[in-house]
Amino acid sequence: MKRKLASLFGRLNENNGKNIVILDSQFSRDIPQQLGTHESLPHLKTIVEKLERALDDTYMMHVRQKLILKYNYNEQKYNWMLLELKRFFLLSTIMKDVPMYSQDVDTIWHEMILHTREYEKFCSNFCGHFIHHQPNLATDQTRVETAIEHKRAQFDLAYSLLFTIHNENKQLLQHFFRYNVDEGLFYDIGTFSEDYIIEKYFNPYTTDIFHSLKTEIINHIHKAHTAYKKKHKLNNSALLPVTSMLFIPITENPPQEEQKAASCSSAAIACSTYSKQGSDSGSSKGSSDNSSSSSSDGGSSGSSCGSSCGGGCGSS
């Protein structure tokens, strides 16, 4: 399955079955270049470069030094945490209501915001709007749990389409592909206009190059879902065992419990189902799926490519 996908999306990064290492040694390798983005989406590189230019070196070095001194992070782990935060910022400018799943990563975000002037300048230079940090308050627990699962599945879908996934990412964010994507997403993409899809699922306040990437993502999802339906000769999309869709192969061999749960693949996509039982066994210490979610509220500027994080962000 992974080799079929590799022929379409590039070479796999094999590790001969050595999946998860304990403690900080799991962050011993160097972070990937260009945030580990995929070449299948041509506008991604431009957005990554825009993000890197927006982050002032002096500002980010001050944040790094303070947090490493305060929390005793080693340099390599901090590099992976910062990589994850940059990926989060990128996702937040593209998607609507992006959750933050790592307390470690959120720690950097909090520290950045304390430097109000520098943080506002970063947001303005990157996406043109303030990226908000707010708690996500819940009321109906059952409804919230279902919503969290759907949101995590959509997060996995978008994340795997944009980025390579290494064990270091799983240690910070927990394992991927444990929940089903809401079938309504695929129905909407196959039925309604692009403007409607962007308004419902994507950050509506970022334009230009960000809009082009949104269009590419919509087209990728639609083509992959159509190819799966055609291969299995299913006309009613509701009958599909649709789960988190792995468009781009993970760069590590998954743990055994995830391999057992993997379901089906095609030349265009791999649909992966991961059972909730045992899937967290390799996750990092203290990780949690309780998350915050980004918001695109207006604020004083009228609109925002904002994101939020509340209590319950998982730690690694």
Global model pTM greater than 0.85: no
**Distance set, CA 108 to CA 36, 49, 86, 298, 315 (Å):** 20, 20, 10, 24, 13
Q: What is the pLDDT of residue 140?
A: 57
Using alpha carbons, select from 23, 30, 38, 21 the residue that is nearest to residue 250.
Answer: 38
Q: What is the pLDDT of residue 233?
A: 67
Q: What is the pLDDT of residue 44?
A: 93
Q: What is the pLDDT of residue 275?
A: 35
**How many CB atoms lie under 10 A from the CB of residue 26?**
21
DSSP state of 196: H
Four-point Cα dihedral 214, 215, 216, 222, nearest 10: 110
- The token duo for 45 is 């590189």
pLDDT digits over 123-137, tens only? 999 999 999 886 544
Q: What is the pLDDT of residue 261?
A: 36
- The token duo for 36 is 């580990």
Structural contact between residues 179 and 146, judged by C-beta atoms closer than 8 angstroms: no
Whose tokens are 């720690």? That residue is 107
Q: What is the pLDDT of residue 26?
A: 81
Q: What is the pLDDT of residue 274?
A: 34
Measured at the alpha carbon of residue 267, what is the angle toward residues 262 and 270, in degrees to the nearest 5? 25
Q: In the sheet that 245-246 helps form, which strands lie side by side, from edge to edge?
A: 245-246, 270-272, 262-265
Q: What is the pLDDT of residue 301?
A: 41
Using alpha carbons, select from 249, 214, 157, 213 the residue that is nearest to residue 44.
Answer: 213
Q: What is the pLDDT of residue 87?
A: 98
Q: Which residues of the chain have pLDDT under 50?
A: 1-23, 136-139, 238-290, 296-312, 314-316
Half-sphere exposure of 174 (CA within 13 A, CB side): 28
Q: What is the pLDDT of residue 245?
A: 46
Q: What is the pLDDT of residue 175?
A: 87
Q: What is the pLDDT of residue 292?
A: 52
Q: Residue 163: phi, psi to the nearest 5?
A: -130, 155
Q: What is the pLDDT of residue 25?
A: 57
